[in-house]
């Protein structure tokens, strides 16, 4: 760690509450705090005062530039740097930064995806300061977290709808709390995202065009050893990886990111980092930053950090777990079982709201994590299935069952359950049985949504989750606010909800085929296997209605997002297909050809020396490899045809379906033959590093 201790290092590059309190006048600080805590309005005077202090602080800490930092729909962050300099009459410069520059920016937005929302001739979008996420310094640049909108106010980013969804949930949750006699300033959702990634050697990476162009290997035979021994999970961290992690931690700490836990994951070369949870929009910004810094720090260590969901076939891919909860400004977690019957009734109501939300909007949660990369994981027996269900654990399930049936709870205290009256038992949190195969698991005082891909922005699933829970809460508040007898209305409501949404609750093995059968045939849950299956549901009437009612999206925003996500899917797979064609024609076929030449030459040479040699090895290898080159040629032509046919399809929905049904099977077919050839040819002749080298060469 060097000379500076962690507490001094932590947040040293962040214009956080400590800095604001120390530098802003009491009056400015108070109004800014109000804006942050209660969504107050920002006035120009405050903006001007904050901008001045921000600039002084940034310049003192080595910044020369500033940028509005935002999250366009590309899924990565964007920034355009402006320096602080402004000419002074004496021929020099002064460092300037105005309130206006803090609040609003106007990046040329024509190259960001808008899905038709913003005609390109009207290329300008604008960015607006999000004071709820602290500004920070990165690479000598003051980064101001912002939302990104079109001139007509339509969201062009992931942050705007996320903030809207948090507001929707805040509105409805406060109505419910009021019914329980609680006035709170706000209810916010918190998230702790666990992030998985691979680290491989940079030199090897550079030799693999598939990794360079697509982030994953498109070919590669399995090495003799994969993850069978489970010896990597939580294993001793290798020195080179350890040096990377130390460096990464201190970079993240400087940015005020609460990097907390790190360990090896299941696959060789796979690791995980988990921060301490924070408010959802801050956690989202921090997770984007974390992914960026991981890649940057890896490079410094001669490594490459792969964030793709499935960089290697045959070993686990990488996901992200979205640990989610709701809490009041007083820090009371609404998903924490309470000590009194009254508190437990409140807990059960919020629990019901989540259960109902997940059932009613399974499709939205599924499509929020749908990308070409994540399609390789969901349902592949290493990540949760594409079917969304909720795991509650045995104790909580038994309690809900008892409420549903008006039967005594057979738990530890064997008491009859009635809500809101003194007979409700205390129950402990269920932390013992943790079901790794469930996509949406209750883990004591939070829900863990496990279907995210490692490169997904966590904004998408939290938008859907917040909005869907807001909708359940709204329905509950509408009903309970008018109830003559609150206690019995509450009991009825909870009972009814449990009965109605029973089908989404599942504690069993989500990897089993029996579950897929039961979930789809008996329970009627949706099984949206791929992005083209899932994404169009964004525009289902029920989904549009809910998202628009809570003002999370407008209709045109939804249409544009659906289009962008499908377009992204099509582009991703198309690039992969082109890369395959390229590698086969330029690398693999010529390499096999060289090897065949060597075998043929050896055979004829050997035969010319002795009439007794059979050359079985040479000849059989040659014959099979030659056969394979013919197959490979046919398959690559198939794929080229598929790429050509795709050009003639004009709708993005049909393109995505064509890719799913025609192109991807052809890619898999082609890969199979190339991988077989790899097993037969010599390592020396093979044009790219093998899986074995990629996965086992970092020490």
Q: Which residues here bind Mg ion, judged by CB under 5 A?
A: 194, 321
List the single partner that 445 binds among ligand ADP, Mg ion, none, CB under 5 to 8 Å by kind. Answer: ligand ADP
Q: Is 274 in the site for ligand ADP (CB under 6 A)?
A: yes
* CA distances (Å), origin 468, targets 260, 547, 552, 557: 30, 8, 10, 17
Q: Kindly state the smallest distance separating residue 258's Cβ from ligand ADP, in Å.
A: 8
Cα separation, 258 vs 283, whole angstroms: 10
Q: Is 98 in the site for ligand ADP (CB under 6 A)?
A: no
Q: How many residues bind ligand ADP (CB under 6 A)?
A: 16
Please list every residue from 316 through 345 that binds ligand ADP, using CB under 6 A: 321, 323-325, 333
- 194/678 with CB nearer ligand ADP: 194
Determine contact, residues 58/96, Cβ cutoff 8 Å: no
- 333/475 with CB nearer ligand ADP: 333
List the single partner that 276 binds among Mg ion, ligand ADP, none, CB under 5 to 8 Å by kind. Answer: ligand ADP
3-state secondary structure of 461: helix
Cα separation, 652 vs 644, whole angstroms: 15
Q: Is 536 in the site for ligand ADP (CB under 6 A)?
A: no
- 194/262 with CB nearer Mg ion: 194
State the SS3 of 82-109: EECEEECCCCCEEECCCHHHHHEECCEC
With CB atoms as reference, the residue minimizing the distance to ligand ADP is 192
**Nearest-10 crossing angle of helices 616-647, 589-609:** 160
List the single partner that 275 binds among ligand ADP, Mg ion, none, CB under 5 to 8 Å by kind. Answer: ligand ADP
Q: Which element (helix H / strand E) includes 451?
A: strand 447-453
- 382/618 with CB nearer ligand ADP: 382
Q: Is 423 in the site for ligand ADP (CB under 6 A)?
A: no
Contacts of 32 (CB under 8 A, 6+ apart): 20, 24, 46, 50, 131
- 68/321 with CB nearer ligand ADP: 321
List the single partner that 274 binds among Mg ion, ligand ADP, none, CB under 5 to 8 Å by kind. Answer: ligand ADP
Cα separation, 137 vs 11, whole angstroms: 10
Q: Kindly state the smallest distance separating residue 391's Cβ from ligand ADP, in Å.
A: 13
Q: Is 276 in the site for ligand ADP (CB under 6 A)?
A: yes
Q: Is 275 in the site for ligand ADP (CB under 6 A)?
A: yes
Q: Kindly state the smallest distance separating residue 626's Cβ from ligand ADP, in Å.
A: 51
- 25/261 with CB nearer ligand ADP: 261
The two three-digit tokens of residue 259, written as one number: 């990097």
- 446/550 with CB nearer ligand ADP: 446
Cα separation, 475 vs 587, whole angstroms: 60
List the single partner that 134 binds among Mg ion, ligand ADP, none, CB under 5 to 8 Å by kind. Answer: none
The two three-digit tokens of residue 492, written as one number: 């009825």
Q: Kindly state the smallest distance separating residue 29's Cβ from ligand ADP, in Å.
A: 28
- 75/192 with CB nearer ligand ADP: 192
State the SS3 of 296-335: HHHHHCCEEEECCCCCCCCCCCCEEEEEEEEEECCCCECC
The two three-digit tokens of residue 486, written as one number: 């609150």
With CB atoms as reference, the residue minimizing the distance to Mg ion is 321
**Nearest-10 crossing angle of helices 159-179, 458-481:** 30
Q: Is 449 in the site for ligand ADP (CB under 6 A)?
A: no
Q: Is 190 in the site for ligand ADP (CB under 6 A)?
A: yes
Q: Which of 159, 446, 474, 635 binds ligand ADP (CB under 6 A)?
A: 446
* CA distances (Å), origin 663, targets 229, 238, 277, 313: 35, 40, 40, 18
Q: Which of 442, 423, 435, 425 is nearest to 336 (CA)?
A: 442
List the single partner that 346 binds among Mg ion, ligand ADP, none, CB under 5 to 8 Å by kind. Answer: none
Q: Is 445 in the site for ligand ADP (CB under 6 A)?
A: yes
Cα separation, 54 vs 136, whole angstroms: 10
The two three-digit tokens of residue 361, written as one number: 């909007």
The two three-digit tokens of residue 436, written as one number: 């790794």
List the single partner that 407 binds among Mg ion, ligand ADP, none, CB under 5 to 8 Å by kind. Answer: none
Cα separation, 362 vs 388, whole angstroms: 6
Pairing verdict, β 447-453 and 440-442: antiparallel
Please list every residue from 100 through 119 that binds ligand ADP, using CB under 6 A: none
- 192/379 with CB nearer ligand ADP: 192
Give the dihedral sign, CA 41/328/475/281.
positive
List the single partner that 76 binds among ligand ADP, Mg ion, none, CB under 5 to 8 Å by kind. Answer: none
Q: Kindly state the smallest distance separating residue 457's Cβ from ligand ADP, in Å.
A: 17
Q: Is 290 in the site for ligand ADP (CB under 6 A)?
A: no
| Residues contributing to the site for ligand ADP (CB under 6 A) | 190-192, 194, 261, 274-277, 321, 323-325, 333, 445-446
């Amino acid at each position: 760690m060097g000379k500076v201790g962690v507490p001094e290092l932590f947040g040293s590059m962040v214009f956080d509450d400590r800095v604001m309190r120390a530098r802003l006048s009491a009056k400015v600080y108070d109004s800014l705090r109000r804006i942050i805590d209660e969504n107050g309005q920002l006035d120009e005077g405050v903006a001007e005062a904050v901008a001045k202090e921000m600039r002084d602080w940034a310049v003192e800490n080595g910044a020369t530039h500033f940028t509005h930092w935002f999250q366009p729909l590309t899924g990565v962050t964007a920034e355009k740097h402006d320096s602080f300099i402004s000419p002074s009459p004496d021929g020099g410069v002064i460092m300037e930064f105005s309130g206006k520059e803090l609040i609003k920016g106007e990046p040329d937005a024509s190259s960001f995806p808008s899905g038709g929302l913003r005609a390109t001739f009207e290329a300008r979008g604008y960015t607006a300061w999000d004071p709820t996420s602290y500004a920070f310094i990165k690479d000598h640049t003051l980064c101001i977290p912002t939302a990104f909108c079109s001139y007509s106010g339509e969201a062009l980013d992931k942050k705007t709808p996320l903030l809207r969804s948090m507001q929707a949930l805040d509105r409805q949750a406060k109505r419910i709390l009021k019914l329980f006699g609680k006035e709170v300033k706000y209810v916010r959702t918190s998230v702790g995202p666990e992030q998985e990634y691979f680290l491989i050697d940079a030199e090897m990476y550079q030799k693999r065009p598939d990794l360079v162009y697509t982030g994953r290997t498109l070919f590669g035979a399995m090495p003799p050893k994969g993850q069978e021994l489970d010896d990597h999970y939580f294993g001793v961290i290798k020195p080179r990886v350890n040096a990377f992690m130390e460096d990464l931690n201190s970079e993240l700490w400087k940015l005020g990111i609460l990097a907390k836990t790190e360990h090896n994951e299941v696959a060789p070369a796979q690791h995980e980092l988990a921060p301490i949870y924070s408010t959802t929009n801050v956690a989202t910004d921090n997770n984007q930053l974390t992914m960026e810094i991981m890649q940057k720090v890896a490079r410094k260590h001669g490594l490459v950090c792969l964030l793709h969901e499935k960089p290697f076939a045959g070993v686990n891919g990488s996901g992200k777990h979205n640990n989610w909860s709701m809490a009041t400004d007083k820090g009371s977690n609404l998903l924490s079982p309470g000590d009194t019957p009254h508190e437990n009734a409140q807990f059960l109501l919020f629990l019901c709201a989540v259960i109902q939300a997940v059932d009613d909007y399974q499709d939205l949660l599924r499509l929020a994590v749908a990308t070409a990369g994540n399609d390789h994981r969901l349902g592949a027996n290493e990540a949760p299935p594409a079917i969304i269900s909720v795991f509650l654990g045995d104790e909580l399930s038994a309690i809900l069952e008892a409420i549903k049936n008006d039967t005594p709870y057979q738990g530890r205290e064997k008491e009859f359950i009635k809500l809101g009256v003194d007979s409700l038992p205390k129950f402990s949190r269920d932390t013992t049985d943790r079901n790794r195969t469930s996509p949406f698991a209750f883990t004591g005082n939070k829900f863990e949504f496990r279907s995210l891909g490692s490169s997904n922005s966590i904004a998408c699933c939290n938008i859907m989750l917040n909005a869907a829970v807001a909708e359940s809460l709204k329905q509950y508040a509408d009903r309970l606010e008018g109830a003559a007898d609150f206690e019995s209305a509450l009991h009825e409501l909870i009972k009814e909800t449990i009965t109605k949404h029973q089908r989404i609750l599942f504690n069993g093995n989500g990897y089993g085929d029996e579950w897929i059968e039961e979930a789809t045939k008996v329970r009627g849950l949706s099984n949206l296997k791929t992005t083209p299956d899932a994404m169009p549901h964004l525009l289902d009437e029920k989904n549009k209605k809910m998202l628009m009612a809570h003002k999370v999206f407008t209709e045109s925003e939804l249409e544009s997002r659906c289009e962008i996500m499908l377009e992204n899917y099509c582009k991703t797979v198309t690039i992969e297909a082109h890369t395959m064609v390229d590698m086969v024609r330029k690398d693999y076929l010529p390499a096999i050809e060289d090897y065949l030449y060597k075998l043929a030459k050896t055979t004829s040479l050997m035969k010319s020396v002795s009439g007794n040699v059979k050359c079985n090895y040479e000849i059989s290898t040659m014959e099979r490899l030659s056969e394979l080159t013919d197959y490979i040629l046919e398959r690559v032509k198939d794929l080229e045809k598929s790429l050509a046919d795709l050009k003639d399809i004009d709708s993005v929905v049909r393109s995505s379906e064509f890719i799913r049904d025609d192109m991807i099977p052809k890619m898999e077919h082609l890969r199979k033959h190339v991988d077989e050839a790899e097993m037969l040819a010599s390592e020396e002749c093979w044009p790219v590093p093998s899986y074995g080298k990629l996965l086992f060469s970092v020490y």
